[in-house]
Amino acid sequence: MPTLPIADFRGGRAATTRSVATGRRWLAPAAALPLIGALALLLRPTADDVPATIDLTQLAAAAAAAAPEASPLSVEVRVESNDTLDRIFRSVGIDHTTLSELRQLSDVRKALDVLRPGDIITLTHADGALLSLNRRISNTLTLSVARAGDGYAVDYIENPFEVEVGATRARIDSSLFAAGRAAGLGSETIMVLANEIFGWDIDFALDIRRGDEFAVVYQRKFQDGRYVRDGRVLAAEFVNQGRVHRAVWFESADGSVRGYFTPEGRGMRKAFLRAPLDFTRISSGFNPRRLHPISGRVRAHRGVDYAAPTGTPIWAAGDGRIQFAGRKGGYGNTVIIDHGRGVSTLYAHMSRFGRATRAGTRVAQGQVIGYVGSTGASTGPHLHYEYLVGGQHRNPATVTLPDTEVPAHLEAEFGAAAATALAQLRLTDRSDGPALASR
Ligand SMILES: [Zn+2]
């Protein structure tokens, strides 16, 4: 069992469980096989655009020593679409023979030949003689080329994320977003809670109430001591109208299982989404940072109405086959999906259908089948949603998808991981206020 930094959590400031993981894993192959490593890193899509700090002090000092009479000039170039290194070098005024010299270094050639718009390349030169070139390859790795004697020295500078585990608990007074932001969570983390962890159990469009509570154990990523962004949510709890939902992240050592599970090992993903559209688009006032007014809920008839702007995408609540797509009296533009076993879902008043929405077509959960509108007998743009079992309206069942249970042979591994995550979650449950993750 991993040890828990209980003291830090108790202290309420929660600088905890620090580890430097991400960059190491990448650098190992990069060191062993420089070419393949560099290529793999280049082809890796950049997840976001957090600028990395490149320390040019040493390079500048080296440059000054190498060329004492010319004062070195450092230029930062942002790559435009269709830019070539040749064009960049010419625009900066670097001697054109330098590029062919660099290209003879295979490490460099691979790392420079693929340019993406938005890439930043830092060039230091003195009177057109290149002294150094720095190119950020990923969030955690920078290619550094520096003049050394008659040639160039190539180095990959690692600047890995430092990952810290934080924990926080918050009470919803105005909205999930406001509470989450006030507790220090990034917007993406709040979205993960709603769409990737609890979206099958809680209707975030209609069922959130003042006094609901949530707790999150999650990674926070730092670089050079600066917070960069949140990482993965490791455990979470949501108390919705008094009902407690808990989830833990589990990734088995063999990589065969990864996802969110209940503490008992059942997948959080269920056969049906609670709300077949993005909750941030919902509310009469259309303000995702506001609590949805209870008046927005209308259950006078056999379905649920979600007021949302025209054009809001509507998702298939579960896997199935489209049984009907067309006009249907007062329902207007309507889609009915047959999910098998007598279960069907109905979506009405659509402004238009999804591209592949045709009777007989198979659809997957979360696929866009149409867009919110006000066709048929409707007074304003909204989605009218029905969930039917044997033709009778019901609340969406919380049937777990069959393939999302932790398999028996991984139960012990899951149990240990879940115990750790749940213990961290419990530490947020203190009477004297939330344990805020901060530094
Ligand atoms: Zn309705």
205 CA → ligand 1 middle, Å: 15
Alpha-carbon gap, residue 264 to 414, rounded angstroms: 9
Report, as an integer, the average pLDDT of 397-418.
82
Residue 383 CA to ligand 1 center (angstroms) comes to 7
CA of 196 to the centre of ligand 1 (A): 26
pLDDT for the residue 61: 54
Segment 168-181 shows an average pLDDT of 91
325, containing H or E segment:
strand 320-327
| Conformational region of residue 285, where left means phi above 0, alpha means psi within -120 to 50, and beta covers everything else | alpha
In the sheet that holds 226-240, the strands lie side by side as: 162-171, 213-223, 226-240, 243-251, 258-261
Q: H-helix or E-strand containing 25? A: helix 22-32
DSSP, res 330: G
Q: Can you state the percent helix, strand and coil of the chain, rounding each to 5?
A: 25, 30, 45
**Among 136, 140, 134, 137, residue whose Cα is nearest residue 152:** 134
What is the whole-number distance in angstroms between the Cα of residue 189 and the centre of ligand 1?
31
As to burial, measured by CB atoms within 10 angstroms (0-12 exposed, 13-18 middle, 19+ buried), residue 226 is: exposed
Q: Average pLDDT in the 412-422 region?
A: 94
Quickly count: other Cβ atoms within 10 Å of residue 300's Cβ: 7
Whether the pLDDT of residue 274 is over 80: the answer is yes
pLDDT of residue 334: 97
Residues near ligand 1 ion, CB 5 Å cutoff:
303, 305, 384
Instruction: State how far the Cα of 335 lies from the Cα of 353, in Å rounded to an integer.
Output: 8
Q: For residue 384, report the distance from its CA to the centre of ligand 1, in Å.
A: 4
Residue 389, classed as helix, strand or coil, is strand
- Tens digits of per-residue pLDDT, 98-117? 888 888 887 777 777 778 88
Alpha helix positions (H), 226-330: none
CA of 359 to the centre of ligand 1 (A): 22
CA of 308 to the centre of ligand 1 (A): 13
Compute, in angstroms, the gap from residue 81 CA to the centroid of ligand 1.
48
Q: Residues of 198-208 as b/e, b for ≥16 C-beta within 10 angstroms?
A: bbbbbbbbbbb
Separation of first and last alpha carbons in the chain = 26
The 10s digit of each residue's pLDDT in 181-228 is: 999 999 999 999 998 999 999 988 888 888 999 999 999 999 888 999
Q: How many angstroms separate the CA atoms of 8 and 327, rounded?
A: 60
CA 261 to chain centre: 18
Q: From ligand 1's centre to the CA of 309, what distance in Å?
A: 15
Task: Determine the distance separating the centroid of ligand 1 and the alpha carbon of 337, expressed in angstroms.
Answer: 17
* Cα 353 to averaged position of ligand 1 atoms, centre (Å): 18
Tell me what pLDDT residue 351 has.
97
Interior angle at CA 23, CA 138 and CA 187, nearest 5: 70
Ligand 1 centroid to Cα of residue 288, in Å, is: 21
Cβ atoms of 63 and 126 within 8 Å: the answer is yes
Q: Which residues, 6 or more positions from 19, have their beta carbon under 8 angstroms from its beta carbon?
A: 162, 163
- For the chain, what is the radius of gyration of the CA atoms? 27
Q: Kindly report the backbone phi and psi dihedral angles of residue 370, in degrees, each rounded to the nearest multiple of 5, phi listed first.
A: 180, -175
325 strand-pairing partners? 335
Query: How many angstroms does the Cα of residue 272 sit away from the middle of ligand 1?
Result: 19
- Residue 294's pLDDT band (cuts 50, 70, 90): very low
Which amino acid is it at 316?
A: A
pLDDT of residue 400: 62
Higher pLDDT, 87 or 19: 87
3-class state of residue 371 by DSSP? strand
CA–centroid distance, residue 378 to ligand 1 (Å): 8
pLDDT of residue 329 exceeding 50, the answer is yes
In the predicted model, what is the mean pLDDT of residues 15-40?
A: 33
Q: What is the DSSP string of 181-225?
A: HHTT--HHHHHIIIIIISTTT--TTT---TT-EEEEEEEEEEETT
* Across 53-67, 361-375, 420-434, least confident range: 53-67
Which residues are registered as beta bridge partners of 326? 334
Find the 323 Cα to ligand 1 centroid distance in Å.
Answer: 20
336 alpha carbon – ligand 1 mean position (Å): 15
Q: What is the DSSP string of 114-166?
A: ---TT-EEEEEEETTEEEEEEEEEETTEEEEEEEETTEEEEEEEE-PPEEEEE
Residue range 30-45: average pLDDT?
36
Q: Which of 18-27, 136-145, 272-281 is the least confident region?
A: 18-27
Buried b (16+ CB within 10 A) or exposed e, 421-432: bbbbbebbeeee
Q: In angstroms, what is the span from residue 181 Cα to ligand 1's centroid?
A: 33
Q: What is residue 114's predicted lDDT score, i.e. its pLDDT? A: 77
- The mean of the pLDDT values for the chain is 78
Measuring CA to CA, which residue among 327, 363, 22 is closest to residue 161?
A: 22
pLDDT for 316 beyond 50 = yes
Q: What is the DSSP string of 310-369?
A: TT-EEE-SSSEEEEEEEE-GGG-EEEEEEEETTEEEEEEEESEE-TT--TT-EE-TT-EE
Q: Distance, CA 304 to ligand 1 centroid (Å)?
A: 6
Cα 85 → chain centroid:
32
pLDDT for position 2: 38
Task: Tell how far the Cα of 23 is from the centroid of ligand 1, in angstroms.
Answer: 51
What's the CA-to-centroid distance between 295 and ligand 1, angstroms?
14
Sequence length of the chain is 439
Q: How far is the CA of 400 from the centre of ligand 1 (A)?
A: 27
| Span from the CA of 238 to the centroid of ligand 1 (angstroms) | 28
Which amino acid appears at position 369 of this protein?
A: I
- Are the CB atoms for 37 and 30 separated by under 8 Å? yes
CA of 329 to the centre of ligand 1 (A): 13
State the distance from the centre of ligand 1 to the C-alpha of 316, rounded, in angstroms.
17
393 Cα to the center of ligand 1, angstroms = 12
Distance 284 CA to ligand 1 centre (A): 15
- List residues bridging with 134 in a β-sheet: 122, 144
Answer whether 258's CB lies under 8 Å from 252's CB: yes
Distance (Å) from CA 301 to ligand 1 centroid: 7
State the pLDDT at residue 396: 64
CA 255/CA 210 separation, integer angstroms: 39
